[in-house]
Amino acid sequence: MFRNNQTIAERLMDSMDLERERGITIAAKNGSFRYRDYWINIIDTPGHADFGGQVERVLRMADGCLLLVDAQEGPMPQTYFVLKKALALSLPVLVVINKIDKPAARSHWAVDQVFDLFVKLEAPDELLDFPVVFASAKAGFALDQVDDPVEGATMEPLFEKIINHIPPPAGDPQALLQLQVNTIDYSPYLGRLGIGKVVNGTMNINQNIAMSKRDGSIEPARITKIFRFELDQKVAVDSASAGDIVAVAGMDDVTVGVTFTNPDDPRPLPLIDIDPPTIAMNFIPNDSPFAGQEGKFVTSRHLEDRLFRETLADVALSFEPISDSVGFKVSGRGELHLSILIEKMRREGYEFQVTRPQVIFKEKNGSVLEPYEQLTIDVDEHYMGTVIEKLGLLKGRMLEMNQENGMARLVFKIPTRGLLGFRSEFLTDTKGMGIMNYVFAEYGPFAGMIRNRNNGVLVVKEPCTTVAYALFNLQNRGNLFLGPGAKVYKGQIIGEHCRTGDLVVNPAKGKKLTNMRASGSDENVILTPPQNLSLEDCIAFIIFFWLCGMSP
């Protein structure tokens, strides 16, 4: 794709700031490259189940997939999730065992684990004999066999297997036009762009088409611009035919799932099935003492407009007005899904408050059902007992346990409620060395009351500015979240209590002054650095604060 002397950004497809900061893929991206006489389109999808709405819809554009598996870690829960979606569409799968140059790589073991995963997902027999490539993406080589010499190796073995095992697009350029929008992009000059693959037919600039919406209605439209994905850029073209992945401009109200088709004989494609949301939070205008000091967009109308735009591009997200107050109930796939949305809006200048996350319950045959997750944990054997004990208290039920080379892999089925706020506690218990991943399993019987946290919190007594002397005296009472010189308001959480129950504190209490001085009595206080909470950590404390029966 690039010249030898060209500067290439690391993690090129992860172009969002949040993706680079967190090391995950959040939004699907498109690209392409030419190999010999073939034009190969690339769709980079997220792996985390919280962004599964992206996976479900972009797979409709694919004719096959590369399943990336770490040579050391083997298949992860997100591997299970994306493979399940690919097999549901009967896509041919090319397994790429990546990072084979790791010192602890177990390439053949990883292949066996992938085969077991195919069997577990009841893959058809013709897909069980999947082709395998062994690669190091970072070093830029791929091998047909893991023992092949690395010297002089390139990525060509991967390209050859793509050509030999992934079928070309099956559409007919002479048939009636069919293109289903799978992703939404935005241009400041052209407005909304609908991205999808031309399944059948051909489209041209200034062509009159019909847009079949999700509710079944048909609306006339006109194509003003067509962009094809070349390398990592969008390039304007005059036409596109079956098999091309393009971005189309001209429809201001285009949404995910609509079909562009022939106006004389409209033939919409089947709608995309999306898994239901499992977590909801309330987004409400900020009415705290510090309201209006940070954001540009602060009203309920601003919130509604921004959430509406987000739901047009993210079909796994939904929102509705709150019936008894001002604000909106926002439903998504998980805690990470909603926290990413909150952070995106905050960086765009939106100022608002959020309430505690709550799972979405269902009722069936008079019984209350709640969502369950399949949780996979990789942890050192020394911390295994602590993790199992904690998950037992959170109503987790162990399904599998495997131990090898001092590491343990634990698989649990646990209510979604039990995982809210658990990640930070888990990292503390495992000294930051544990890895946890989870995917939605099913709706099951209500598991009873769950207490997510045992320690109380330190709550501010009255509005003030924190001072070092007061914090020095408080740091023995718990773990502080703020340093000196911070403005706080009544009821604000500034730390975690070292005991159960909450403690009301005064972080502005100064030292009593006298006219007596003695050597050493006025030395500077030494403060322990405060803990910087991530957004997910803050959400966890919202949960606990509510459990204590207090009003945040």
Domains of the chain with bracketed CATH: 17-165 (3.40.50.300), 279-359 (3.30.70.870), 362-445 (3.30.70.240), 457-547 (2.40.50.250)
What pTM was estimated for this model as a whole?
0.76
Burial of 442 (0-12, 13-18, 19+ CB in 10 A): exposed
CA dihedral 467, 490, 551, 346 (to 10 degrees): -70
Question: How far apart, in Å, are the Cα atoms of 514 and each of 22, 375, 473, 511?
Answer: 51, 59, 19, 9
**CA atoms 47, 48, 54, 56: torsion sign:** positive
Nearest to 271 by CA among 181, 383, 372, 384: 181
Residue 520 has pLDDT above 70, yes or no: no
Higher pLDDT: 133 or 355? It is 133
Nearest to 244 by CA among 58, 41, 91: 41
Beta-strand relationship, 279-285 and 352-354: antiparallel
Q: Are 30 and 245 in contact (CB under 8 A)?
A: yes
Q: How many residues does the chain have?
A: 552
pLDDT, averaged across the chain: 84
Give the HSE-up count for residue 190: Cα atoms under 13 Å, Cβ half-sphere.
19
Can you read off the two tokens belonging to residue 234? Answer: 């969008």
Q: Which pLDDT score is estimated for 550? A: 39
Question: How far apart, in Å, are the Cα atoms of 147 and each of 72, 162, 260, 430?
Answer: 16, 21, 49, 36
**3-state secondary structure at position 513:** coil
**3-state secondary structure at position 102:** coil
Residue 110 has a CB neighbour count (10 Å cut-off) of 25
Residue that has been written with the tokens 């007061």 in this structure: 470
Query: CA 547 from chain center: how many Å?
Result: 27
Query: CA 406 from chain center: how many Å?
Result: 30
Q: What is d(CA 111, CA 132) in angstroms, rounded to the nearest whole number?
A: 8
Beta-strand relationship, 65-70 and 93-98: parallel
Residue 551 has pLDDT above 50, yes or no: no
Give me the mean pLDDT over the 89-115 stretch. Answer: 91
| E-strand stretches of 461-550 | 464-465, 478-480, 487-488, 493-497, 503-505
294-307 tens-digit pLDDT: 888 889 999 999 99
Q: Are 143 and 157 in contact (CB under 8 A)?
A: yes
Can you read off the two tokens belonging to residue 501? Answer: 């129950």
Span of 97-106, 447-456, 497-506 with lowest mean pLDDT = 447-456
Q: Are 380 and 433 in contact (CB under 8 A)?
A: yes
Q: Which pLDDT score is estimated for 549? A: 39
**3-state secondary structure at position 195:** strand
459-493 tens-digit pLDDT: 899 889 998 888 888 888 888 998 888 889 888 88
Q: What is d(CA 338, CA 21) in angstroms, rounded to the nearest whole number?
A: 17
Q: Are 396 and 450 in contact (CB under 8 A)?
A: no
> What do you get for the CA distance between the two ends of the chain, in Å?
52
Confidence of residue 514 (pLDDT cuts 50, 70, 90): low
Residue that has been written with the tokens 């799978």 in this structure: 182
Can you read off the two tokens belonging to residue 219? Answer: 């609306």
